[in-house]
Every structure is written in C-alpha cells, then in structure tokens.
C-alpha cells in the first residue's frame, strides 16, 4: 500500500462468512492476519452460519488467541448473505472487505484493492477475476460462461461496465456498506449489492486479482439454482432504476399483456352491442388498471406512494391523455376503412409508447443508476 496517501493507520474490517469450512478456516485466517503491517490494522469478523462440522469451535479457538478476531454464530443456517449482514453490522473499520473462508482468493491482494479507497479516489473497489494476468486455476467452462452472462445482464440493468459482478472481493468504505440494507440470504447478495451500489451512483473501481477456484469435491457450494436466483435479483433490485431502453423492454411485456386485454375487452363489448364510443374508452380504462398493477409489481413498484393529491392527479392525467389518443386513433382508422380489430391494435401500439413515457417520467420518476460523474474505472495490472 505504498501508493496510499495517508497520515494514520488504516483499519480494515474483513468479514469471513463460514459454513462447513473446517479444512481451510484456520489457514485462511492465518493468511488474512499476515497482511497487517505498520500502516494497516485488521479486524476479522468470522460469522459461522450454523456449520455442522468443527468450523465454529475452530473459529472460537482462533478468537481466544487473537484480539483482532471476533466470532459470531447463527443458530440455524441462513446463507452467505445473512452471514455478511451480521458481519457488516459489527464492523468498525474505516473500510470493510469480504473474504470467503475457502482460500479461492489471496488475502494479500486486499492491500492493493485498498489503495484507491485510502487515496480517496473510490467508494467501492471490486476485484475482478477476469482482468488479472495473475494465477488462475483452470476449472469449469460453464461456470465461466454463467459468470460472464450474469455480469452482462447486471451491467445492462445497472449501466456499469464491470467485468466480474459475482466476485467475492468487494471492498467498501464503511459508511457505504452500513448505509445499504442487505435483503438476500444466499448468493443473491452479489447482484443485490452491485445493484444498490449502482443506485447510489458511487465511485466504483475494478482491479484484477488472482483466483484459485475449487471443485465441488473440494466443497464449492454455489449451484444452478443460485444462477437463476441471481437473474431474479438482477431484475428485482434494478428494474425500477434500470436505463430507459431496458425499462422499455420490460414495459413491452407489461404493455403487451395490457394491450391484448384491451383488444379482447373492446371486441367483446362490440360483440354484445356496445358502441365504439363506449367500448373503446371502457376497454382502455380496464386495460390501464391491469397495466398499473403489473407496473407496480414488476417495474415501478418502489415508487407506488400516492402520498399526495398531485401524484394521483398526474397519474389520471396520463391515463386520460393516452385514453383520448387511443380513442382518436381508433376512430380515425375505422373512419379510414380499417376494421375495428386492426384499428384498435394500432391504437394500442401507439398508446403503449405514450403509456411508458408517461409512467417513466411523470408518474414514477426515478433517478437513474450508474456511475456518478466519472465512469467505472478498471485498473489493469502491469504486464511485467
């Protein structure tokens, strides 16, 4: 950390979530303690997630021999995210890092990840397994593909240009991680924390690290269901703050469902003898209600407040305005000789665009995600 510009000793809190890691925990802790120096003080917080091997007793033994170690335990297994939540709550360092107990990552590299933080250049630093020219154990091809795919989807939703969203090595200013509520209990923590960091528009750096991955025989725990959960978390924690093109793609699904309902209702009312002047607006209003419900549950749900008359007024003005557009287009096309079904279809498509714009910018306005001022910076290691 010679490049760090500081006048006092830095304290780093390292959270070690642990579940059935009796084979590697002691060695991991020894390697972490070895990174301390005259400028870096450590606080190790081991959180045992109800291991059914000797992990907890090993952790307690390590705690009794070192004032730098604190051990906390869960009475039942709750997952990595829950363990990190416990650890973050007890962290007191200037900066907070995550270290898995399985020795897939080299603790010595935490020191270089700290440099942009200590220099005041970054709020969060991520260690990327895909930027480094260092040592990498060759393992599962489809895990690599899955990681790259999840990172790509996450980047599309967060507007960041990360190379390794799923990395364990994430280092934060303590104020940053203390200000984020972690909801995920398992490996969904990774996409969740990236999403919430992106929402805060913090200064995010990325640096290459080495990686010593392990096999399932060695105790690797992440699986296919965690990949699907990661996709769900990317959608859940990002949809309401995603870039406009991504939100419009989501709204195409919502609007498409509502448009089909609009068309079906319109044709049904025409079939029972109702006039175009009545059936078109009634069908539109029913579809607008369905559209609203889907928006709340899938897209803009976090801003469904309705705390003031003005919010309700804006919503109904948008609905009313698009309703008039829908009616005008429908009647104009029918007058021009188009069949009622085709006329209503085109009106619904046009209404889809106006509905999205009205909801996104007037009814449910959200600040965007992504980096603040400067773009996310990737620091690549020298080739020497």
Q: DSSP of 187-210, one letter per residue? A: TTHHHHHHHHHHHTT--EEEEE--
- Provide the token pair at 68: 């730098």
Per CATH, the architecture of 10-241+371-379 is what? Alpha-Beta Complex (3.90)
Instruction: For residue 296, name the pLDDT band (cuts at 50, 70, 90).
Output: confident
* Average pLDDT estimate for 326-354: 88
Report the percentage of the chain scoring pLDDT > 70.
Answer: 87
Strands (E), 90-201: 95-98, 124-128, 170-173
- Return the domain boundaries, the chain: 10-241+371-379, 244-363
Burial 47-73 (b: 16+ CB within 10 A, else e): bbbebeeebbebbeebbeeeebbbbbb
Residues 1-30: tens digit of each pLDDT: 555 555 678 999 999 999 999 999 999 999
3-state helix, strand, coil in the chain (%, to 5): 50, 10, 35
Cβ-based neighbours of 72, under 8 Å, separated by 6 or more = 45, 46, 47, 48, 86, 87, 90
From 22, 227, 249, select the one nearest 157 (Cα to Cα): 249
Task: Return phi, psi of residue 17, to 5°.
Answer: -75, 140
pLDDT > 50? residue 145: yes
- Report the predicted TM-score, pTM, of the whole model to 2 decimal places: 0.80
Give the lowest-confidence range in 197-201, 344-348, 351-355, 379-383.
Answer: 379-383
| Pair 370, 156: CB distance under 8 Å | no
Q: Does pLDDT of 310 surpass 90?
A: no
Contact status, residue 17 vs residue 131, Cβ threshold 8 Å: no
Check residue 320 and give its pLDDT.
86
Which residues of 203-247 form beta strands (DSSP E)? 204-208
User: Sorting pLDDT into bands at 50, 70 and 90, what band is 108?
Assistant: very high
More confident residue, 178 or 225: 178
351-377: b (≥16 Cβ within 10 Å) or e: bbeebbebbbeebbeeeebbbeeeebb
Contact 52, 45 (CB under 8 A): no
Collapsing DSSP states into helix, strand and coil, what is residue 126? strand
Answer whether residue 383 shows pLDDT above 50.
no
């Amino acid at each position: 950390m010679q490049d760090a510009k500081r006048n006092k000793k830095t304290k780093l809190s390292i959270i070690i979530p642990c579940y059935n890691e009796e084979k590697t925990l002691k060695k991991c802790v020894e390697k972490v303690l070895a990174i301390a120096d005259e400028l870096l003080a450590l606080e190790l917080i081991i959180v045992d997630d109800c291991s059914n091997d000797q992990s907890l007793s090993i952790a307690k033994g390590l705690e009794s021999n070192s004032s730098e170690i604190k051990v906390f335990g869960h009475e039942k297994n709750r997952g990595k995210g829950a363990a990190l939540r416990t650890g973050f709550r007890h962290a007191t360092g200037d900066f907070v890092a995550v270290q898995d107990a399985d020795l897939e990552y080299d603790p010595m590299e935490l020191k270089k990840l700290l440099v942009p933080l200590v220099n005041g250049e970054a709020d969060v630093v991520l260690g990327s397994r895909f930027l480094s020219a260092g040592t990498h154990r060759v393992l599962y091809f489809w895990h690599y593909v899955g990681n790259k795919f999840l990172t790509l989807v996450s980047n599309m939703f967060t507007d960041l240009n990360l190379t390794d969203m799923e990395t364990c090595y994430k280092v934060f200013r303590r104020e940053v991680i203390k200000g984020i509520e972690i909801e995920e209990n398992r490996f969904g923590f990774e996409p969740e924390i990236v999403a919430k960091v992106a929402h805060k528009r913090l200064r995010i750096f990325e640096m290459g690290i080495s990686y010593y991955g392990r096999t399932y025989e060695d105790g690797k725990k992440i699986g296919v269901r965690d990949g699907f959960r990661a996709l769900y978390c990317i959608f859940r924690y990002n949809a309401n703050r995603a870039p406009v093109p991504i939100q419009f793609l989501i709204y195409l699904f919502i609007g498409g469902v509502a448009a089909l309902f609009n068309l079906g209702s319109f044709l049904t009312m025409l079939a029972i003898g109702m006039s175009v002047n009545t059936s078109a607006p009634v069908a539109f209003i029913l579809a607008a209600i369905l559209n609203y419900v889907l928006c709340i549950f899938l897209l803009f749900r976090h801003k469904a407040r309705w705390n003031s008359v003005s919010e309700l007024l804006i919503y109904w003005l948008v609905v009313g305005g698009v309703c008039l557009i829908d009616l005008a287009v429908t009647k104009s096309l029918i007058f021009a000789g188009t069949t009622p079904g085709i006329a209503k279809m085109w009106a619904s498509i046009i209404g889809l665009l106006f509905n999205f714009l009205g909801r996104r910018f007037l009814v449910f306005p959200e600040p965007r995600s992504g980096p603040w001022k400067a773009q996310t910076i990737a620091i690549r290691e020298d080739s020497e």
